[in-house]
Amino acid sequence: MNSSKPLLSLLIIPTGIGCDIGGYAGDAIPCARLLAAASGSLITHPNVMNGASLYWNDQRILYVEGFSIDRFACGEMLLHPVRTQNVGVLLDSGIEAELRQRHMQVIDGCRATLGLNIGPVVTTDSPLQISLKTASSGASGGEVKNLGSLLRAGEKLKDEGATAIAVVTRFPDDSGYKELNAYRQGKGVDLLAGAEAIISHALVRHLYIPCAHAPALSPMAIDNCLDPRAAAEEIGYTFLPCVLVGLSRAPDLIRKATLQATNSFFQSGLLGIDDLGAIVVPKTALGGEAVLACIEKGVPLIVVNNPGVMNVDTKSLGLQSDLDLNSPTRIFYAENYKEAAALLLALREGLAIPSLNRPIQKIDVL
């Protein structure tokens, strides 16, 4: 058993860009578990951990929504690990009665079977009317027509004592047969993911409490050619179970400005960007705000071969491609997440990564 101090690490696999690993229904969970074991403490986001009816609860993994990760990496937000959250549920009034009842049964099931603190449940004052889009890059996106209704329902939940919010909104079923069929066969981008990110980002930005999203969809006809990575989405009636489990222990979100204003900046147990020991990200998806902030702060960067539709790599950013330890950015390349785990373990143990390579260069003499 590893007895060294945990190395707080960040795993990002951007939403809706069709990565081979993490572009489907929780298919990155095994990699997250491996990296959490190697590092001892891992921050990651719902896109990595959400597997519809399937989930994995690991106390070494901090479930943090994407907007919150951006603010954390920019040094504006701190994370406070907690034992439990009181998860309020926000339901779109556009969900049909039978589909709504399926979600209510999931809530009761998670309360009775898993012992989660869930409630209250609030319904929006008007249907949210979600539309889906695809960007020119191939990444998925979308629009929420009645955003104000979403935010008002979120405010009501927070006022009623919810410390985290699970959002369930009605998504269109006819979102493009060719694209959906390609995704189910492991060849496309998740058409829902981009709109899901917009919904959770909007709520977190407005309320500063943990939020995650589960789409409400009619059950699909069985597909005999289904890719295993998409299978988790088709074994139940809803996507809600994984969201409720993830949010049940999501860390509190603490704005640094609030702490400074109340002279409580040195509150114990808080995690900030200065505590981060490494970030792991697909090698062609380096353009996100959190990644750029970590690069600017000199956080060791592990880039992994995990193809998607984006193509922003170290060359695009003009970064050094070697392991010059005098460089403000230390960049390590991994062919897969198994190699990334080994690199995290070496960093955790304080090993000089070049000492593991052959040949070893002679030390420079100034």
Contacts 24+ apart (CB under 8 A), 183-187: 183/24, 183/230, 184/220, 184/223, 184/225, 184/226, 184/227, 184/230, 185/223, 185/225, 185/226, 185/227, 185/230, 186/24, 186/227, 186/228, 186/229, 186/230, 187/227
Please indicate, yes or no, whether residues 142 and 263 belong to a single structural domain of this protein: no
Which of 62-71, 191-200, 257-266 is predicted least confidently?
257-266
Tokens of 153: 């329902």
2 inside domain: no
Identify whether the C-beta of residue 29 lies closer than 8 Å to the C-beta of residue 50. no
**Boundary (domain end) residue, out of 205, 225, 253:** 253
Radius of gyration of the chain (CA): 21
For residue 168, what pLDDT band results from cuts at 50, 70 and 90? very high
Q: What is the mean pLDDT of residues 114-126?
A: 97
362 inside domain: no
Which of the two residues, 259 and 303, has the higher pLDDT score? 303
Around Cβ 19, how many Cβ atoms within 10 Å? 25
Please indicate, yes or no, whether residues 245 and 310 belong to a single structural domain of this protein: no
**Boundary (domain end) residue, out of 213, 230, 253:** 253
Please indicate, yes or no, whether residues 174 and 237 belong to a single structural domain of this protein: yes
Total tally of structural domains belonging to the chain: 2
**Boundary (domain end) residue, out of 227, 253, 279:** 253
Identify whether the C-beta of residue 289 lies closer than 8 Å to the C-beta of residue 70. yes
Please indicate, yes or no, whether residues 111 and 245 belong to a single structural domain of this protein: yes
Please indicate, yes or no, whether residues 283 and 346 belong to a single structural domain of this protein: yes
What pLDDT, on the 0 to 100 scale, is given for residue 326?
A: 47
Question: Backbone phi, then psi, for 40, in 5-degree steps?
Answer: 90, -15
- Please state, in angstroms and rounded to a whole number, the distance separating the CA atoms of residues 26 and 329: 30
CATH number for the domain that contains residue 335: 3.40.50
- Please state, in angstroms and rounded to a whole number, the distance separating the CA atoms of residues 241 and 103: 9
Please indicate, yes or no, whether residues 161 and 201 belong to a single structural domain of this protein: yes
What pLDDT, on the 0 to 100 scale, is given for residue 262?
A: 66
248 inside domain: yes
363 inside domain: no
Cα diameter, the chain: 74
Please indicate, yes or no, whether residues 265 and 243 belong to a single structural domain of this protein: no
For residue 235, what pLDDT band results from cuts at 50, 70 and 90? confident
End-to-end C-alpha distance for the chain, whole angstroms:
41
DSSP category for residue 235? S
Please indicate, yes or no, whether residues 275 and 296 belong to a single structural domain of this protein: yes
58 inside domain: yes
170 inside domain: yes
Which of 39-48, 85-94, 224-233 is predicted least confidently?
224-233
For residue 95, what pLDDT band results from cuts at 50, 70 and 90? very high
Tokens of 193: 């993911």
**Which residue segment(s) compose the domain that 115 sits in?**
87-253
Please indicate, yes or no, whether residues 235 and 160 belong to a single structural domain of this protein: yes
Report the mean per-residue pLDDT for the chain: 90
Please indicate, yes or no, whether residues 232 and 102 belong to a single structural domain of this protein: yes
148 inside domain: yes
What pLDDT, on the 0 to 100 scale, is given for residue 187?
A: 79
Please indicate, yes or no, whether residues 169 and 157 belong to a single structural domain of this protein: yes
